[in-house]
Amino acid sequence: MTAIPIVRLTPLAWLRAGPLGVIWRSPRATTGATIILVMLVLGLLAPLISSYDPSRGTFDPWIKPGVGHLLGTTALGQDIFTQLLYGARLTLLIGVASGVISTAIGTALGLSAAYYGGRTGEVINTITNVFLVLPGLPLLIIVSAFLRGGGIWAIILVISLTGWPWGARVLRSQALTLRNRDFIHAAVSTGESPARIIFKEMLPNLAGIIAANFFGTALYAVLSEAALSFIGIGDVSKVTWGTMLYWAQAKNALLQGAWWWVAAPGLGISILGMAFAFLNFGVDEISNPKSNQLGKATKVLRRKSVAKVVDASTLPLLSIQHLDAGYLTPSGPVRAVRDVSLDVAPGEFLGLAGESGCGKSTLAFAATRLLDAPGAVFGGEARLSGQDLLSLTPEELRRVRWKEYSLVFQASMNILNPVIKIREQVYDAMQAHGVHDKAKLEARARELFELVGIRPDYLDAFPHQLSGGMKQRVVIAIALALEPKLVVMDEPTTALDVVVQRQILQEINEVRRRLGISIIFITHDLSLLVEMSDRIAIMYAGEVVEEAPAQEIYTAAKHPYTQRLMTAFPPLSGQRERRGGIPGRPPSLAQDTPGCPFYERCTVHIPGTCDVKKPANVNLSKEGEPVHRVACFLHSPAIKPAMYDEEHALASD
C-alpha cells in the first residue's frame, strides 16, 4: 500500500488547492476569471474613475475619441467611456443573476426528471420540450412586452424563464446515465433519502455540466439583453451595454461615422462572452477531484479489537424456501432460480458456486429484494431472522437493508462515488440509519478500516487515489458498517489479481469470525470456496443440485456436475496442472427440461430416468447427522442402490 503524504493546509493553501487554485492553474480559466474580475472592478469603481454622469448629456454631441473623452460622446452628448464603465455593472448583474436563476431551474427540473422518472419525469420532460421548441427570441419579446416597465429585474426574470430548458435537457440525460451507475444503486440500497442521493451523490458528479450551463446561460443572458435592448424592448432608460447599442442604432451612429459608439459596447459584450467561454474550460478540472489536492492524510489511530462471540444458535439466520425468480423478457420468462431452498446459519460462511449464468446472482438478489425489473420473484419466501423479506414494504425494507443485511456486488468498487471523499461515503450508510454523532461516525469508520486492513489515513482520500483492492476493501468496510447479521458477497474479488483476492478473502473470513456475521459468498471458483466456506451449495441451471460441508464437497462430492466442477479447477495443493472445462453448455433457462438439467452433459446419466423426471433431493447423513443433500438419481435408492457411497447412509428422500 502506498501511503498518502500528510499535508496540513493553511487557509491560503486551501484556497490554492481548492477551486480557486484550479482556476489559477488553468491559463484559459485564469484569463476568463481575470477579464470578468477586471470588468467588475471597473464597473464598481466607475464613480472614482470617471466624474461624469453616464445618463446626462452635458457635452457636445458626436465628439471624436480624444483626451477629454477617451471614447468620444454620443449623439446626446454623454461620455461613452463613462457609459461603458457603468454599463459593465448592469450587464454583469444581468448575466450572473439570469445565469444563476436559469441554472437553478434547469438543474432542479433536469435532476428531478431523471431521478423520479415515471409520470413525474414525463411531465417535466414535456414542459422542457415545449419550452425548447418555442423560438427563443420571439418568446423573449412576447414575455418582455408583458413585463415592460418592470425594470432590470423584469429583464432578468424574462431571460431566466426562457434560458433554462437546454440546461435541464442536458442535465436530465446525464443524470439518467448517472442514475444507473452502481454507486447510485448502492446509495438507494443503503436507504439514503432521494434528496440526499440527488444532492450528495448525483450533484457533485454533475458539477461540470451545471457550471457549463451557468456560463452558457450567463452568456445567453448578456446577448439576449443586448438583443432586447437593441430592438427597444429592454429598459432603455438604464445604461447597459445592450442599451448603449440601442441608442447607437437609434441615432444612426454608423451613418454619422461614430463607429466607436457601436464598437465599445459591442467589444465589451464579445469580451465578456469570451471570458465566460474561457472559464468553462476550467470547470472540468474543478469538478474533477483528481486535480484537487485536498484529499490528504491524517494520523493513524491504534488498532481496537471488535471481537464478538459467534452465535451458536442452530436456527437459520436466512431461510430461503422454494424460491422461484427470474426475468420477464419479451420472449417469455427466464426462470433463473428454480424452486431453491437454502438455509444459512448464524455465523456461517456459505459458498454458492456454479458456472456462469446458472443463477447465483439472481438467487442472492431475489432473496434480498434487490432484483430490479425485468427481474421478478415468481414464488417462495426468504426469511431473515424469521421476517419474510419478500413481503416487506419499501420503507420496512429500507430500515432492514444494510442494518440487518448488506451486499457487496461484483466489481463493487464502482459503487464509490468518484467525486466524494471516502470518509463521507463510509459515513453515508451509517447516517442513513440514524448514526449522526460525528465522533461515533469517525471512530467507527477508523475501526472498520483497520478491520479490513486499510490504514485509516485513506478515509481522506478520493476513490481514484486507491488501488482496486483497496476500493474493494472500502466497500466491504461499508457493508460491515452497521454490523449486519448477514453479508451477501457476489464475486467481490473477481476483478482483482489472485494475490490480492486471497488476501481480501482471508480478511473477510477473519472479520466474519470476529464479528460473528454470516456470509453468502458467490463465485464460480469452487477451489476458492472449499478453502473459505463452512458449507457449499452448488447451483446448476437455476437449481441447487448439491449442498454439503466444504470438506465433504472437496473429498466426497456426489453430483456428477460437482465432481466435474471440482476437476475443472486446479487442486488446492500440489502440482499445478492445466484443467479443462465441462464439455457442453447448460440448458436455456427460458425453457423447462423434463428431467435432470445436467443430463446432456452428464457422462454417467441413466437414459429413460434422468431425462424423463426431475431427480428429488436425497439427504445423506453421516454419524446420524444429515450432512449432504444431492439432487441426483445416482444416489436415489429407488433407482440405483448399488451406487451408494459406502460411508453414507440414506437419511431421507
CB of 489 vs ligand ATP, minimal distance in Å: 12
Respond yes or no on whether the N-terminal peptide bond of residue 374 is cis (omega within 30° of 0).
yes
Answer yes or no whether residue 338 interacts with ligand ATP by CB under 6 A. Answer: no
Cβ proximity of 324 and 337 under 8 Å: yes
Rounded to whole angstroms, the Cα distance separating 470 from 240 reads 56
Rounded to whole angstroms, the Cα distance separating 587 from 316 reads 32
Contacts of 527 (CB under 8 A, 6+ apart): 566, 569, 570, 571, 572
Q: Which helix (H) or strand (E) holds 230?
A: helix 207-230
CB of 372 vs ligand ATP, minimal distance in Å: 8
Q: How many C-beta atoms surround the C-beta of residue 526 within 10 A?
A: 23
Q: Which stretch binds ligand ATP (CB under 6 A): 16-24, 70-78, 275-283, 359-367?
A: 359-367
CB of 215 vs ligand ATP, minimal distance in Å: 40
Q: Which stretch binds ligand ATP (CB under 6 A): 129-137, 146-154, 190-198, 357-365?
A: 357-365
Nearest to 46 by CA among 17, 86, 11: 86
Dihedral in degrees, nearest 10, Cα atoms 380, 386, 387, 390 = -10
291 to 330: interface string for ligand ATP, x by CB under 6 A: ------------------------------------x-x-
Nearest to 81 by CA among 97, 69, 63, 64: 69
Cβ proximity of 315 and 29 under 8 Å: no
Rounded to whole angstroms, the Cα distance separating 63 from 73 reads 5
Question: Which class for 482: exposed (0-12), middle (13-18), buried (19 or more C-beta within 10 A)?
Answer: buried
103 to 142: interface string for ligand ATP, x by CB under 6 A: ----------------------------------------
CB of 297 vs ligand ATP, minimal distance in Å: 36
Answer yes or no whether residue 342 interacts with ligand ATP by CB under 6 A. Answer: no
Judged by CB under 6 A, which of 36, 85, 168, 358 binds ligand ATP? 358
3-state DSSP call for residue 309?
A: coil
Strand segments (E) across 524-604: 535-540, 543-549
CB of 370 vs ligand ATP, minimal distance in Å: 12
CB of 628 vs ligand ATP, minimal distance in Å: 22
- Helices in 410-497 by DSSP H: which ranges? 422-432, 438-451, 468-480
Q: Which of residues 506-565 bind ligand ATP (CB under 6 A)?
A: 524
Contacts of 126 (CB under 8 A, 6+ apart): none
CB of 584 vs ligand ATP, minimal distance in Å: 15
Size of residue set near ligand ATP by CB under 6 A: 15
Answer yes or no whether residue 19 interacts with ligand ATP by CB under 6 A. Answer: no
CB of 484 vs ligand ATP, minimal distance in Å: 21
Nearer to ligand ATP, 257 or 332 (CB): 332
CB of 639 vs ligand ATP, minimal distance in Å: 28
Cβ proximity of 619 and 628 under 8 Å: yes
CB of 524 vs ligand ATP, minimal distance in Å: 5
Q: Which stretch binds ligand ATP (CB under 6 A): 155-163, 358-366, 395-403, 596-604?
A: 358-366
Judged by CB under 6 A, which of 113, 206, 245, 334 binds ligand ATP? 334
Answer yes or no whether residue 374 interacts with ligand ATP by CB under 6 A. Answer: yes
CB of 585 vs ligand ATP, minimal distance in Å: 11
Rounded to whole angstroms, the Cα distance separating 63 from 594 reads 100
Answer yes or no whether residue 354 interacts with ligand ATP by CB under 6 A. Answer: yes
Q: Which amino acid does the sequence have at 9? A: L
Judged by CB under 6 A, which of 150, 333, 357, 516 binds ligand ATP? 357
* Residue 577, phi then psi, degrees to nearest 5: -135, 160
For residue 480, what is its C-alpha cell?
460491515
Answer yes or no whether residue 361 interacts with ligand ATP by CB under 6 A. Answer: yes
Nearest to 232 by CA among 220, 243, 240: 243
CB of 346 vs ligand ATP, minimal distance in Å: 25
Nearer to ligand ATP, 57 or 357 (CB): 357
Q: Residue 384's beta-bridge partner residues?
A: 318, 387
Answer yes or no whether residue 589 interacts with ligand ATP by CB under 6 A. Answer: yes
Mind giving me the DSSP string for 353-413?
E-STTSSHHHHHHHHTT---TTEEEEEEEEEETTEEGGG--HHHHHHHBTTTEEEE-TTGG
Q: Which amino acid does the sequence have at 634? A: L
CB of 592 vs ligand ATP, minimal distance in Å: 14
Judged by CB under 6 A, which of 336, 451, 526, 553 binds ligand ATP? 336
Nearer to ligand ATP, 357 or 516 (CB): 357
Judged by CB under 6 A, which of 69, 179, 238, 360 binds ligand ATP? 360
Q: How many C-beta atoms surround the C-beta of residue 436 within 10 A?
A: 9
Nearest to 303 by CA among 105, 441, 448, 132: 448
Judged by CB under 6 A, which of 356, 393, 591, 603 binds ligand ATP? 356
Cα within 13 Å of Cα(428), Cβ side: 30
Answer yes or no whether residue 575 interacts with ligand ATP by CB under 6 A. Answer: no
Judged by CB under 6 A, which of 287, 292, 362, 533 binds ligand ATP? 362
Q: Which stretch binds ligand ATP (CB under 6 A): 356-364, 464-472, 592-600, 630-638?
A: 356-364
Answer yes or no whether residue 591 interacts with ligand ATP by CB under 6 A. Answer: no
CB of 321 vs ligand ATP, minimal distance in Å: 19
For residue 303, what is its C-alpha cell?
488498532
Rounded to whole angstroms, the Cα distance separating 220 from 99 reads 8
CB of 652 vs ligand ATP, minimal distance in Å: 29
Rounded to whole angstroms, the Cα distance separating 296 from 455 reads 13
3-state DSSP call for residue 277?
A: helix
Nearer to ligand ATP, 248 or 367 (CB): 367
Q: Which stretch binds ligand ATP (CB under 6 A): 12-20, 36-44, 55-63, 350-358?
A: 350-358
Interface ranges with ligand ATP (CB under 6 A): 327, 329, 334, 336, 354, 356-362, 374, 524, 589
